[in-house]
Chain A
């Protein structure tokens, strides 16, 4: 049963064994597993429930429908734009389907440095296996690698850089290229068409337009969740309360800590909202003589891992990934204006982007903002990370030139740096990548309710249960103990599965 609270309006009072907040990579998995495990489950999702027919492939129509704060979420100082989903299925609805398990070296670091001895590859295997099976994770075929990704591969191979074609979660993909705007073909195996329907079929009651405002747990025991029915424009349409023995908070790494802070919960160690990592990313754009039309085909299939070696240093490194933006986005994220900008846009069809995504050590924080819809996000890139971004951009330029680009644009603000073939690309490292100097975005905020063995330095324990509140679990990207250094959807879903199974196995504890 999927009910739109926006349309229903009015007040609502429910009881359930488990209340799941958020229906993205963490929440949808937890909800389905819990419902199939026999628990009565209520899922509260603030966003609407879209279907394939709603995805029009127009960025002007889709971006506002899919993203938090209408796509305008950003750090307090405006230096980093943050993209997160706001609909049934969360960010998986518009993500780009790279599928990676948690790197072994990262798990080892979490075990050794964060007191999480339980997190061994063997212990996590059942959860990974279940998630990958449900999402249909398979290797991308050679014939599915589009021109954008072939360019990145050509450049990397010429330079002898390590890279590979990844796995993904698509079935029957027509290679439209519009993953970022939601899949019109139900080919992307997002939560929207996998775990959410499973949860629904198993009897979970899923409410959309249901924005949680507070979690109540007097005396450290879960009591209820309260919030508002909201319309698509954020207008109030009513209120709800859900009484539950167990709450699984999976509202994403910005909203989850905001909810805990507003509720005054789980913050005994002062860690809620702290340790924010963003995987900040900056795009270098190559301009080629021939048409690329990189917006057609599977957007991301190749992955350059030459500049990250987690086995020897699990704390730093950068990944290079092909990327293309649609015209409105590309125009707005290309610095400058007037004739020079317009000339750049005339070459839009001949461009190929390569982004550097940083395994960041910088720690920011999330605080409650003026309103529930606008938490405050502080993040200032540290010098060492800035240097790595500059070096990553230099390698992006190298790869793009090696692949045949005639020019490479680096998005310095307010005017871009345009490098011609043969130019000295070390100009990038000379200029550097200081905080705020470059157009920067994040699609992977994480670690704001981090998992750890020590209640003084973490928010949740090894199965996602808050140290301070029995029956309150967090199961989204906020539990990552550190920056992941890899695409996060599979790790997030794995934690959702693991938390759900832990709750099922220990159910008696939550009823006494």
Chain B
């Protein structure tokens, strides 16, 4: 029985990153939007992260955190601030558990998002150094860019952010979701 399908684990080096590969990686999270499909994701529960090496570096995590903060606007909504929820840990866990061929280019997307204002929008300030209003403006540039790669990156990070945040139990009371019925003892 020789017909064994080789499993492609993500070993792609940075220098080999193609636009296509980048689009695919962003397609990962784009697909998280799927009507009911936005699923995709191994448990985003609020347990601690697993013992394996972090998927994102500290710097990337900070950029991602700021992206999530602006995507969910938790400062303005009266909802729990992102840093007080398990959202970022949950996203990290998700990235660790997904097939690497799907996630391998995501760190690059995050870095591009950070440097995007300088590279694409001539604003001379990195995303992480902007105030909230400028960050929102920068996100809008990604969202409505004529470059499809930028729109895809927006979609990827947006969906990751929203899924990670709204999967957290702490967020549910503020949006009127009562959570699993099993928690109420029905059938447990």
Residues of chain A at the chain B interface (Cβ within 8 Å): 11, 56-64, 66-67, 69-74, 78, 81-83, 174, 176-178, 180, 184-185, 213-214, 226-228, 233-236, 239-241, 281, 283, 291, 293, 295-296, 325-333, 337-339, 341-343, 345-350, 370-372, 414-415, 439-441, 443
Contacts and interface: CB of A to CB of B under 8 A. Distances in A.
Interface stretch (B50-58, B109-117, B122-130, B171-179): B171-179
A337 B27 CA distance: 18
Q: Which of A66, A71, A72 counts the most chain B CB atoms within 10 A?
A: A72
B181 A71 contact: no
A251 to B, nearest CB: 15
Given A72-B102, A233-B97, A327-B177, 19 more contacts: A57-B180, A58-B167, A64-B39, A70-B98, A71-B31, A71-B37, A73-B37, A81-B34, A240-B1, A328-B163, A328-B166, A331-B166, A333-B38, A337-B70, A338-B70, A338-B73, A339-B77, A414-B155, A441-B37
B180 A325 contact: no
A74 B34 contact: yes
Contacts, number: 237
A61 B43 contact: yes
Interface string B70-99: 111110111100000000001000000111
B18 to A, nearest CB: 14
Max count, chain B CB within 10 A of own CB: residue among A59, A73, A332, A346:
A332
A contacts with B: majority SS: mixed
Contacts of B180: 56-58, 178
Given A71-B34, A281-B35, A341-B72, A332 B163 contact: yes
Interface of B: 1, 3-5, 7-8, 27-28, 30-45, 70-74, 76-79, 90, 97-99, 102, 136, 139, 143-144, 151-152, 154-155, 158-159, 161-163, 165-167, 171-172, 174-178, 180-183, 186-187
Given A226-B1, A234-B99, A345-B166, A329 B177 contact: no
B163 A78 contact: no
A348 B176 contact: yes
Q: Which of B30, B167, B178 has the most CB of A within 10 A?
A: B167
Contacts of A70: 39-42, 98-99
Question: Ordered nearest first, which 10 A-B pairs have the shortest CB separation?
Answer: A349-B176, A63-B39, A71-B39, A81-B34, A441-B35, A57-B180, A72-B31, A60-B44, A331-B162, A332-B38
A66 B40 CA distance: 9
B89 to A, nearest CB: 13
Nearest to A60: B44
Contact of A213 (B5, B44, B73): B5
A241 B40 CA distance: 30
Contact of B36 (A174, A331, A341, A443): A443
Contacts of B77: 339, 342-343, 345-346
Nearest to B69: A338
